């Protein structure tokens, strides 16, 4: 750095008296123009040097730039306070507390299923959105769209596979998450209501997967949905083949199955309904419940454990109302 300065400084300092001398003697125009040019070059070189210097400083310590500070808002040092702020002042990380129980980070307690379920949900939203670019929810082209996706769209097959297997993975993970929460008794006070929200999320997960099943419009999805919705016609009171349904005036054209399919058979309306439930309605509802679920985890005191064991002799008497 110092070398470059010295090297660049020499012609600059040599150029200035030369220019002054030319002006005083008033000699040839060519000489005057040449010295002006030299001054401009010298100025440009000085600017270049400064730019290089500033760039090097930026690369060496990017956290000191205004842009960096504006994005991250707080300073990050190797201090506990700074580590806490790094989590708390970040919009994506602020769902976490600043500190957690040291045993709670061990994999064997939580199995990590809740977090991984959420991550798989995010990948499903991502791949699903990309799939929506290539899919029309219409009886005429739906199946062809899948063929087109699989054979002509770059990475289309991978995209569909990831969406399909991600959905299966999510169902398995949700069930295992529930199993773990039960085994650790984490639904007990004060987390009762969050368990209820979790059950609703399980149902929504199954519904998301089921509504997606029909969309390729192939034999597999068609008959699965036919079998599934045929049960709805047997709904007590509200289905035309269910107990007390006919007595209440239920027919294939006004019962609960008709409402689900938008018709009396699985056809174009059913495809459109499945599409809207799958891509718009249920994801929004599920996201809302997820927000509540995560928020309640924090408000109920973070994850449940591993808590210190309690002994039978320490049970307190129940309060009588």
Partner 1 sequence: MDLHQLWTILSLPDNVPIVLLLFVVPFYTWYGLRQAFANDRLIAQLEGDPAMAKTHHRKVQPFKTGWTREVHVWPYLLRIEFLAAIIVTVILMVWSITLNAPLEEPSNPTLTMNPSKAPWYFLGLQEMLVYFDPWMAGVVMPSLIIVGLMVIPYIDTNPLGNGYYTYKQRKFSILTFIFGFIVLWVSMIVIGTLIRGPGWMWFWPGTTWDHNRLIFEVNRDLPDLFGITGRVAKIIFGAIVVGLYLGAAGVAIHKLITKTAFNRKIYARMSVLQYIVMQTFLVIMLALPVKILIRLMFRIKYIWVTPWFNI
Instruction: Give the footprint of partner 1 on residues 137-166 (CB under 8 A).
Output: 143, 146-147, 150, 157-158, 160-166
Give the closest residue to 127 by CA, choosing from 85, 166, 185: 166
DSSP string, 160-187: HHHHHHHHHHHHHHHHHHHHHHHHTTTT
Residue 179 found at the interface with partner 1 (CB under 8 A): yes
For the purposes of burial, counting CB atoms within 10 Å of the CB of 145, is it exposed (0-12), middle (13-18) or buried (19 or more)?
buried
Contact string 79-118 vs partner 1 (x = CB under 8 A): -x--xx-xx-----x--xxxxxxxx-xxxxx-xx--xx--
Contact string 251-280 vs partner 1 (x = CB under 8 A): --------------xx--------------
**Closest approach of partner 1 to the CB of residue 48, in Å:** 40
Q: Which of residues 117-136 bind partner 1 (CB under 8 A)?
A: 119-120, 123
The secondary element (H helix, E strand) that includes residue 114 is: helix 113-132
Measured from the CB atom, is 45 or 180 closer to partner 1?
180
Taking CB under 8 A as the criterion, the residue among 137, 156, 186, 258 binding partner 1 is 186
Residue 236 found at the interface with partner 1 (CB under 8 A): yes
Taking CB under 8 A as the criterion, the residue among 228, 252, 262, 263 binding partner 1 is 228
Angle in degrees, CA 93, 183, 92, rounded to 5: 5
Note whether 169 and 121 are within 8 A (CB): no
Residue 247 found at the interface with partner 1 (CB under 8 A): yes
Q: Which of residues 16-75 bind partner 1 (CB under 8 A)?
A: none
Q: Which of residues 277-306 bind partner 1 (CB under 8 A)?
A: 304-306
Taking CB under 8 A as the criterion, the residue among 235, 268, 292, 294 binding partner 1 is 235
Sole residue written with tokens 């990948």: 123
Q: What is the largest CA-CA distance in the chain?
A: 118
Count of residues that interact with partner 1, criterion CB under 8 A? 108
Give the closest residue to 280 by CA, choosing from 229, 208, 224: 208
**Closest approach of partner 1 to the CB of residue 298, in Å:** 12
Measured from the CB atom, is 111 or 289 closer to partner 1?
111
User: Phi, psi at residue 262, to the nearest 5°?
Assistant: 65, 30
Q: Cα–chain-centroid distance for residue 190?
A: 28
């Amino acid at each position: 750095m110092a070398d470059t300065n010295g090297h660049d400084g020499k012609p600059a300092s040599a150029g200035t008296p030369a220019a002054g001398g030319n002006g005083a003697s008033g000699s040839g125009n060519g000489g005057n123009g040449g010295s002006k040019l030299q001054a401009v070059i010298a100025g440009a070189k000085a600017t270049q040097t400064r730019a290089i210097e500033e760039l090097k400083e930026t690369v060496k310590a990017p956290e000191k730039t205004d842009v960096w500070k504006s994005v991250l808002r707080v300073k990050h040092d190797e201090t506990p306070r700074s580590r806490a702020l790094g989590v708390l002042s970040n919009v994506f990380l602020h769902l976490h507390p600043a500190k957690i129980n040291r045993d709670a980070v061990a994999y064997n307690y939580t199995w990590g299923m809740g977090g991984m379920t959420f991550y798989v949900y995010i990948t499903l939203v991502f791949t699903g959105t990309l799939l929506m670019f290539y899919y029309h929810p219409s009886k005429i082209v739906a199946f062809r769209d899948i063929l087109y996706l699989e054979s002509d769209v770059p990475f289309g097959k991978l995209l569909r596979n990831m969406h399909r297997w991600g959905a299966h993975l999510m169902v398995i993970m949700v069930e295992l998450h529930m199993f773990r929460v039960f085994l650790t008794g984490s639904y007990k006070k004060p987390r009762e209501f969050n368990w209820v929200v979790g059950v609703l999320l399980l149902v929504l997960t199954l519904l998301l997967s089921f509504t997606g099943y029909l969309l390729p419009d192939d034999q597999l999805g068609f008959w699965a949905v036919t079998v599934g919705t045929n049960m709805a016609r047997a709904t007590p009171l509200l289905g035309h083949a269910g107990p007390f349904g006919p007595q209440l005036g239920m027919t294939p054209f006004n019962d609960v199955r008709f409402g689900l399919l938008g018709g009396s058979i699985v056809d174009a309306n059913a495809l459109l309904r499945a599409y809207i439930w799958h891509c718009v309605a249920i994801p929004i509802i599920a996201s809302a419940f997820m927000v509540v679920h995560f928020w309640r985890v924090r408000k109920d005191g973070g994850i449940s454990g591993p808590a210190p064991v309690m002994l039978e002799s320490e049970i307190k008497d129940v309060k009588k109302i």
